[in-house]
Structure 1
Amino acid sequence: MSALCFFAFAKASQAQTTSKAKQYKVKTIAFYNLENLYDIEDDITIDDEASPIMEMAEGVRAEVYQKKLTSMARVIRKIGAEKSQSAPSVIGICEVENRKVLEDLVNHPLLIEFDYGIEHYDSPDRRGIDTGLLYKKSDFKVLNSQSNELLIYRASTGKRIYTRDQLVVTGELDGDKMSFIVNHWPSRSGGEQKSRASRVSAAALNQKAIDSLHSIDAMSKIFVLGDLNDDPTNDSVLVTLNAQKDREDVRPQMIYNPYIQMLKDGYNTLAYRDAGNIFDQIMVTYPLLNEANQSGYRYYQANIYNPSFMTNKSGRYKGYPLRSFADGGFTGGFSDHFPVYVYLVKEITEAEETKATSDNK
């Protein structure tokens, strides 16, 4: 059942009238880095070396895996629920080993009621981790999906750097067509400057996907979401993607990034080398803004989900995410990243309102 919310979009002088307040359907779009969600199977591949679970004693792996799934499910069901009254309609994810861990996640008792579908492709990443998209089958219908390969090479040797592919999914949210580009850009291993070109290449691949979608429909509703391993103010985002801080500066076929201002305001989604960063971001194209005067869903608000139960309470990393793995063991925490999410709103017609009221009787 869709949630109905009231928003005071009317002018103050109009609020004194007897006209009926407009009602809006609210949906949450989210992204979450699940921090090393590996299974407990010994695949004899390089990812076993990167899996904290596989480094543990065989007798505790199954228990830790189930606790990790519970932690992830506990968070996912709460993201955006304050306004949408439900779990996210669509959520991009990263740092998952394979489709099996996603199936285990969506079938967890805390999430199974939402009947999430899965879009996932295996990536050539050297750590054995992938991106994916989860979506409520009742809300979102997939029309097309593909995995875009990111080809980057070391300048010193010419050897390929194997990293995550980018997932592009197009579908309909309650009949409203939109696309999602799910990212996990190359890390800052070796230092930000040394690795910068790899993330610029990742941004360029995003831009290529955006241009392709715009060539089909110049007013495509597109979400760029993911762990970018760059802040909103880095060149990959500001220059290559030309993301805008102020929505009034966004024009057709341009991108708005609300997390630029959040970074300036001191917010973070992780701690990298003792500094707060917003590597996790969601950006939207022009047709999702009010200024585009488009029908259907539109962007309302961006957020970082960082409740106290997911946060370190004291010490060196006070205020930062309470991660799930540290010092070779399971901490009982969640992830080394906070999730990010945006609300979409859509005005409800009188016919839809009548039907919703009838269904609730």
Structure 2
Amino acid sequence: MKVISVQLCCIVFLSLTIVRAQPKKYSIHTVAFYNFENLFDTTDDVNTNDDEWTPKGAQHWTIEKYEQKLKNLSTVLSEIGMPDNSNAPVLIGGAEIENRAVLEDLIKQPKLLPFDYGIIHFDSPDKRGIDVALLYQTKYFKPTVYSNIPLRIYHNKVTLKEEEPQQDDDIEIKMADNHRVFTRDQLLITGFLEGEELHIIVNHWPSRSGGEKASSIFREAAGNLNRRIIDSLQKINPSAKVITMGDLNDSPTNKSVKTVLGAKAKKSEVGEFGVFNPFAAMLDKGLGTIAFRDSWDIFDQIIITESLLKADFSTFNFWKAGIFNKSFLVQRSGQYKGYPLRHSLTEVGFSDHFPVYIYLIREVK
């Protein structure tokens, strides 16, 4: 009897050990950002500067080229995050979008249609008529509140106007001649990802037109506005999970990102209410999302609040990040060999940027 009892105890112990050793299962979602690079339709809009992107314009932008552009973009978007995640991104931030209609055409593409994407988009005051937007899989993400928050900046002034209390989240840079630089709004969305509240900010910060140094004040103003939006969300809920993403037209090491927004390169450096930039380490490794004069940089970034860095995966938290730079997105020959394969007069490419992405994971009980 004793022998049987010992054997039974061993069997029970081994069974429990095997059960405990079973690998944990996780729900995984990809969150992506992509600069679509001049996603224009072929119609001349009198309210925007889109003449170049018409059949008679400089780009000879025909319906055939437009349809190929949509096909190319849909191929990219459907594959971001693979092979770690077989599902397309649940959230996609986009930039350089002419209007809502082009997004409606995009999500109807055969490679995206099965994912049933919804659209959040506002027209911005950008002088070229390009906007930011968010695509979301309606099965997983339920938006509740969203708004476009304007960045009001004025040429040649180097100080922020902060003397009077702000009535909204605008940041203003003023000058005597009151010459406004029209740029993209920052798109703020709050919603629930499989029941968990999440805040997303989609950005396309002011360009480097006129030179990096001369234009840096404008991107610093954008970083200031971004930081204030995050602060306001954290004031309402100290545990707010915020993802800010976009083409920032600056590197992770530039003042607008590193100092004004306060994005840290290492998780260990992120304090309470702080933000983490996983793309800073990639830049150190020589990786990039955009190339210029044979030099790589990372303008496209996804930055997250400290609340998404918890080791406890009972709720959705950050796992890892990446740059989607598959070979079919790369120029294979010519002067720009190795660069992102962008549009030219002889070829409808993808974009002059590579997309970026992060994974959010949650343990499945």
TM-score band by shorter chain is 0.7 to 0.9
**Alpha-carbon contact 2:152-2:180 (below 8 Å) kept:** yes
Farther off after superposition, 274-283 or 297-306: 274-283
Q: How far apart are 1:57 and its partner, in Å?
A: 8.1
Aligned-residue sequence identity (percent) comes to 45
1:149 is the counterpart of 2:150: yes
Q: How does 1:90-129 map to 2 (within 5 A)?
A: 90-129=91-130
**Alpha-carbon contact 1:53-1:65 (below 8 Å) kept:** no
The correspondence for 2:328, drawn from 309, 329, 342, is 309
Letter in 2 for 1:83: D
Deviations 1:65-111 (A, max 9, x none): 10000000010000013111111000100000000000110111111
**Alpha-carbon contact 1:31-1:339 (below 8 Å) kept:** yes
Number of aligned pairs?
Answer: 328
Change in Cα spacing, 1:52 to 1:297, as seen in structure 2 (3 Å) is farther
The correspondence for 2:357, drawn from 341, 346, 357, is 341
Aligned to 1:130: 131
Change in Cα spacing, 1:330 to 1:140, as seen in structure 2 (3 Å) is farther
Q: How far apart are 1:294 and its partner, in Å?
A: 6.8
State the SS of the aligned residue for 2:244: strand
Structure possessing the higher radius of gyration over alpha carbons: 2
CA distance in 2, matches of 1:39, 1:313: 27
State the SS of the aligned residue for 1:35: strand
TM-score by length of 1: 0.87
Letter in 2 for 1:33: N
State the SS of the aligned residue for 1:81: coil
Q: How does 1:187-206 map to 2 (within 5 A)?
A: 187-206=207-226
The correspondence for 1:51, drawn from 53, 78, 81, is 53
Q: How far apart are 1:159 and its partner, in Å?
A: 0.3
Aligned to 2:348: 332
State the SS of the aligned residue for 1:203: helix
Q: How far apart are 1:317 and its partner, in Å?
A: 2.5
Deviations 1:182-203 (A, max 9, x none): 0000000010000000000000
Aligned to 1:40: 42
CA distance in 1, matches of 2:291, 2:67: 26
**Alpha-carbon contact 1:69-1:105 (below 8 Å) kept:** yes
**Alpha-carbon contact 1:40-1:54 (below 8 Å) kept:** no
Aligned to 2:342: 323
State the SS of the aligned residue for 2:202: strand
Q: How far apart are 1:272 and its partner, in Å?
A: 2.9
1:166 is the counterpart of 2:186: yes
State the SS of the aligned residue for 1:260: helix
1:234 is the counterpart of 2:236: no
Deviations 1:213-234 (A, max 9, x none): 1111011110010000000000
CA distance in 1, matches of 2:138, 2:41: 25
Aligned to 1:177: 197
CA distance in 1, matches of 2:55, 2:142: 34
Aligned to 1:208: 228
**Alpha-carbon contact 2:95-2:133 (below 8 Å) kept:** yes
Aligned to 1:5: none
Aligned to 1:257: 277
State the SS of the aligned residue for 1:104: helix
Q: How far apart are 1:318 and its partner, in Å?
A: 2.6
**Alpha-carbon contact 2:270-2:276 (below 8 Å) kept:** yes
The correspondence for 2:295, drawn from 254, 275, 281, is 275
CA distance in 2, matches of 1:144, 1:150: 19
**Alpha-carbon contact 2:42-2:53 (below 8 Å) kept:** no
Letter in 2 for 1:179: H
Letter in 2 for 1:42: D
CA distance in 1, matches of 2:244, 2:67: 31
**Alpha-carbon contact 2:55-2:62 (below 8 Å) kept:** yes
State the SS of the aligned residue for 1:103: helix
State the SS of the aligned residue for 2:152: coil
Q: How far apart are 1:44 and its partner, in Å?
A: 2.2
CA distance in 1, matches of 2:310, 2:247: 26
1:220 is the counterpart of 2:240: yes
State the SS of the aligned residue for 1:195: helix
State the SS of the aligned residue for 2:50: helix
Q: How far apart are 1:273 and its partner, in Å?
A: 4.2
Aligned to 2:13: none
CA distance in 2, matches of 1:301, 1:47: 39
Q: How far apart are 1:53 and its partner, in Å?
A: 5.9
Moved over 6 A (4+): none
Deviations 1:311-339 (A, max 9, x none): 01234333220002x2xx25131100000
Farther off after superposition, 269-278 or 88-97: 269-278
**Alpha-carbon contact 1:38-1:53 (below 8 Å) kept:** no
**Alpha-carbon contact 1:50-1:127 (below 8 Å) kept:** no
State the SS of the aligned residue for 1:180: strand
The answer for unaligned runs of 5 or more in structure 2 is 1-16, 158-176
**Alpha-carbon contact 1:64-1:330 (below 8 Å) kept:** no
Aligned to 1:64: 65
Give the superposed CA RMSD.
Answer: 1.6
